[in-house]
Amino acid sequence: MSYQVLARKWRPQYFNHVVGQEPIVKSLQNALQHNRLHHAYLFTGTRGVGKTTLARILAKAINCENLQNFNPCGQCRICLAFDEGRFLDLIEVDAASRTKVEDTRDLLDNVQYAPTQGRYKVYLIDEVHMLSGHSFNALLKTLEEPPAHVKFLLATTDPQKIPVTVLSRCLQFNLRSLSPAQILKQFEFILGQEQISFEPLALKTLARVANGSMRDGLSLLDQAIVFGSGQVTAEDVNGMLGVVAQQPIAELLTALVVADAPRLLAVIGELADFSADFGAVLQQLLVILHRVALQQQLPNCLADDFDKDIVEDLAQRLSPEDVQLFYQIALMGQKDLDCAPDQRMGFEMVMLRMLAFKPVRAGTAASQAGQTSQPYAATQIQVAQPAVQEPPQVSTTVPNSAPDGMADNSAGNWSAMIAAMQLTGMAKQLASHCVLVHLDDEVCQLQVAPDHIRSARTEKTLQDALQKYRGSPLKLHISLQQTAAETPALQQAKEQQDRQQAAVDAIQSDPTIQALKDHFDARIIPGSIKPV
């Protein structure tokens, strides 16, 4: 009695059977249809997505004597020789075990000889990135100008390690990782053909744990069949993998929604009874919260999600603020699990932290103020913030309050003019460090400190902006002189300093901050206070 594992038994033999790589399959079939075959193909992608499988199907197709819809017929002598492993013109090499340059030279010694059975001699080199630098150099010339009867099919999981000189001579196809839905569909088909009973939830769990690799998924499916004595159930799969079903995760979040601390701890106790890995539970919680956030912002993006019903229900019951806060607490809580006395205690504290620091919405703060005696009530910290200043309303016309020829040389008026002219870069810097002395339709006189850096180009830009602002061809004169008047830059610096000091005073005088400093010996990190 010989048993063949599912990954080998159900390995695709035709392009139509390859799962999840439709664009690449279409490209290869079109190349066969129009007889535009490249001399070197490079298949890249993660493990178990079909790189070597596609290369073997292509090698069979280009030698098949009777293509059926641009698929190997599977019945001619070439296809039968392929399937039985006796096709002499397919030279398949594992580069991981033949990395030396001598191995590559031996491999290429017979390149010039014509094929013995098929139309082309095919060199299939798997894990080609494992070749040494000298091996790539030995391969390079043949790869660039191979004989007409030779095709190279290369496969790798790490194309970054392949020299660019080799990459440039290959037609590269990057295979995608498979989605859980694609893996699940293939599982259902295979188990139907094998006449093995299964539970859909068990296959969903296996498809997700496969992490985009069909081969890994089929290996897990093999293990689940053996573990379940010929059937695949959710309980057996969870026990085999050591994972927890999604239902407890939904119960945890539901308990958070209604602020039910006893129920929350009861669910955690049930998880502990099954010896659950609380690190994995926290990761599943992060996955669900991520999907809930997506569902709230983009309702149609999870149409094929396995947990769509659970996610939609939680998206309606949780506010976006709650979701974001819970996700951040869970994300930061992953580091706490290793520091806690045991994982359960660390996980409980993470969940209770979500319960304690629930966002407070407008109109509810007053009602919750009297509930601080209840368990797990949150302390509301309110930090005084400086009032937001409205930007000055700048007029695009010159104020006519001053007589003609006399300038209102206040810093505020000159600052308003700078904002109205929409200056940028060095021109704005120069204007901000100047004092307006005189302005009319013919001339604009400014003063600037002698040590300020300026250039003719910057002054020309400022003059053009003033002419556009005034609507007249005035001239700009800048004198180098120290002045006691405030420049717009100095005024802005003082305003920023006042705002910073107001923010520091607000934090220092806040009663909650004082309580934290008194009870917990807390301190304010210098430089961490910024005005809003």
Say yes or no: 40 and 63 in one domain. yes
Q: How far apart are CA 395 and CA 417, in angstroms?
A: 8
Domain holding 49: CATH number? 3.40.50.300
Domain holding 463: CATH number? 3.30.300.150
pLDDT digits (tens, 9 = 90+) for 262-300: 888 988 888 887 777 888 888 888 888 988 898 888 877
- Radius of gyration for the alpha carbons in the chain, expressed in angstroms and rounded: 36
Asked, for residue 105, whether it belongs to a domain, the answer is yes
Q: Which of 122, 167, 130 is nearest to 146 (CA)?
A: 122
> Which domain does 65 fall in, by range?
6-174
Say yes or no: 146 and 36 in one domain. yes
Domain holding 208: CATH number? 1.10.8.60
Say yes or no: 31 and 138 in one domain. yes
Lowest mean pLDDT among 6-20, 121-135, 307-321, 367-381: 367-381
**Residue range 326-345: average pLDDT?**
88
Say yes or no: 166 and 196 in one domain. no
Q: Give me the number of domains the chain comprises.
A: 4
pLDDT digits (tens, 9 = 90+) for 200-214: 888 988 988 888 899
Asked, for residue 368, whether it belongs to a domain, the answer is no
CB 156 within 8 A of CB 44: yes
Q: Residues near 110 by Cβ (< 8 Å), separated by ≥ 6?
A: none
Q: How far apart are CA 501 and CA 497, in angstroms?
A: 6
Q: Which amino acid is at 136?
A: F
pLDDT at 361: 53
Asked, for residue 514, whether it belongs to a domain, the answer is no
Say yes or no: 341 and 252 in one domain. yes
The model's confidence at residue 314, banded by pLDDT at 50, 70 and 90, is: confident
Say yes or no: 251 and 337 in one domain. yes
Asked, for residue 132, whether it belongs to a domain, the answer is yes
Where is the domain boundary, 336, 359, 382?
359
Lowest mean pLDDT among 176-190, 196-210, 360-374: 360-374
Q: Which of 193, 350, 329 is nearest to 271 (CA)?
A: 350
Terminal CA-CA length for the chain: 76
Asked, for residue 167, whether it belongs to a domain, the answer is yes
pLDDT at 453: 78
Say yes or no: 307 and 442 in one domain. no
The model's confidence at residue 42, banded by pLDDT at 50, 70 and 90, is: very high
Asked, for residue 523, whether it belongs to a domain, the answer is no
Say yes or no: 262 and 161 in one domain. no
The model's confidence at residue 25, banded by pLDDT at 50, 70 and 90, is: very high
Give 467's DSSP letter. Answer: H
The model's confidence at residue 444, banded by pLDDT at 50, 70 and 90, is: very high
Say yes or no: 288 and 145 in one domain. no
State yes or no: pLDDT of 459 exceeds 80. yes
Say yes or no: 52 and 153 in one domain. yes
Say yes or no: 222 and 258 in one domain. no
CA 304 to chain centre: 20
- Is the four-CA dihedral 77, 4, 16, 148 of positive or negative sign? negative
Say yes or no: 231 and 318 in one domain. no
